[in-house]
Structure 1
Amino acid sequence: MNLPNLLTILRFFLIPLFVLIFFSNLKYRYMIAIGIFLFSGLTDVLDGFIARRYNIVTKFGKLFDPLADKLMILTVLWCFVYKGYISPIIFYIVLFKELFMIVGSAILYGRIKIVVSANIYGKIATVLFYIAIISLLLKLEMSLYILVIAVIFAIFALIVYTVKYLSEYRRLRSTSDE
């Protein structure tokens, strides 16, 4: 087990910790929740940097790193829905997109051993989700606008992923049929 994979595993443990703090009665619970959320984001950036820099990219990391990110963002959005901070429709759109990506990625990996990698739109969406979530926790007025823009980027990333990997899947199938 290498350091990047340990950081990915750590992020899975940060998810219930975020929920526990978010729903606690602590005086500074939202500031602590922001800290946990930012620490999760930092470990995400750090594990990717270390894995690429020291050439220790693993299949585990390729599969579970994005899953940790998706689960953290979905968990935080669900917490916001539960508290009434955002509309459930935002959560369901992101949930559908992520489930579609997870199932699609699993199918592609299972059939033709392609690991779906992030595209620029997905990375922008993730950064926007982080900004929106932090601004929501800080109760800034612009936070819902940023969240909507993040959702739009996420949907666009899904479209780009779908087009790219369907064409790749068709290409590989057509070459294997020959």
Structure 2
Amino acid sequence: MRRRTSLVLLNALSLTRLPLAAVFVVMGDPLARVGLVLAAALTDFLDGWIARHRHLESHWGALIDPIADRGFVMVALLTFLLEGKLTPVEFGILVVRDGATALGFVVARIVPRFRLVEFKARMLGKVVTTLQLGALLAVLVAPVLVRPLVIAVGLMALAAVVDYTVAVWRKRAGPGPRGPHIPTPSGRGAG
């Protein structure tokens, strides 16, 4: 299969999480929702694994993958908030890392020293995403685990934001009007 076709199919696999999110909203059955969360997690794992093992990393894939991830998780969490299955505080803790990451990305695009810094997934961010998916499943099948998972997400999110901030700060452009060229190979990321 040609690289271009493979990339299109891989990005389509990533994008399947957005229709899964729409179905999540209209499906009220907890078991069906469990299946949707597992399907979203599976597509996230598969697209990343395929991209790495077949050397199909791309700029667009690196953009599409986290948008699809965050889209699914945010829609599911917002659905639970509106249905009263999560409190506003729980919701806020579960999405704080995503808000901080989005804010950091915007700031990095505005501040010239950070414009050339490569943005890619880090291990703590992946842990937060995994815990978020665990919290989604807990809401559906084991509500007693929601609060401990929310606390775990909050602590790991704090660690992930600090980790990411330190990593970006270390990679920032050096002195001078444009700074040194920093190569920005793209890769798929989760979290």
Deviations 1:70-117 (A, max 9, x none): 121122111221122222123224444313312422554675343321
Amino acid at match of 2:84: G
Q: Out of 108, 117, 122, which is 1:119 matched to?
A: 122
Greater relative contact order, per chain length (Cα 8 Å cut-off, separation 6+): 2
SS in 1 for 2:40: helix
Q: Which residue of 2 aligns with 1:44?
A: 44
Q: Secondary structure at the match of 1:38?
A: helix
Partner AA of 2:161 in structure 1: L
Percent identity, aligned pairs only, is 25
**TM-score, normalisation: structure 2:** 0.79
Where does residue 90 of structure 2 map in the other structure? 90
Contact 1:74/1:91, CA 8 A, preserved across alignment: no
Structure 1 counterpart of 2:189: none
Asked if 1 retains the 8 angstrom alpha-carbon contact of 2:94 and 2:132, the reply is no
* Superimposed CA distance per residue, residues 102-154 of structure 1 (whole angstroms, 9 cap, x where no aligned partner): 24225546753433212221111111111221121013422321122122212
Question: What residue ranges of structure 1 are gaps of 5+ in the alignment?
Answer: 23-28
What is residue 56 of structure 2 aligned with on the other side? 56
Residues 177 and 136 (structure 1), Cα distance of their counterparts in 2 relative to 1, 3 Å cut: closer
SS of equivalent to 1:142: helix
Q: Corresponding residue for 2:175?
A: 174
Distance 2:16 2:62 in 1: 15
**Per the alignment, do residues 177 and 141 of structure 1 end up closer, same or farther by CA in structure 2, a change over 3 Å counting?**
closer
More helix by proportion, 1 or 2? Answer: 1
CA contact (8 A) 2:94 2:150 kept: no
Residues 167/101 of structure 1: CA separation in 2 closer, same or farther (3 Å cut): same
Runs of 4+ in 1 over 6 A off after TM superposition: none
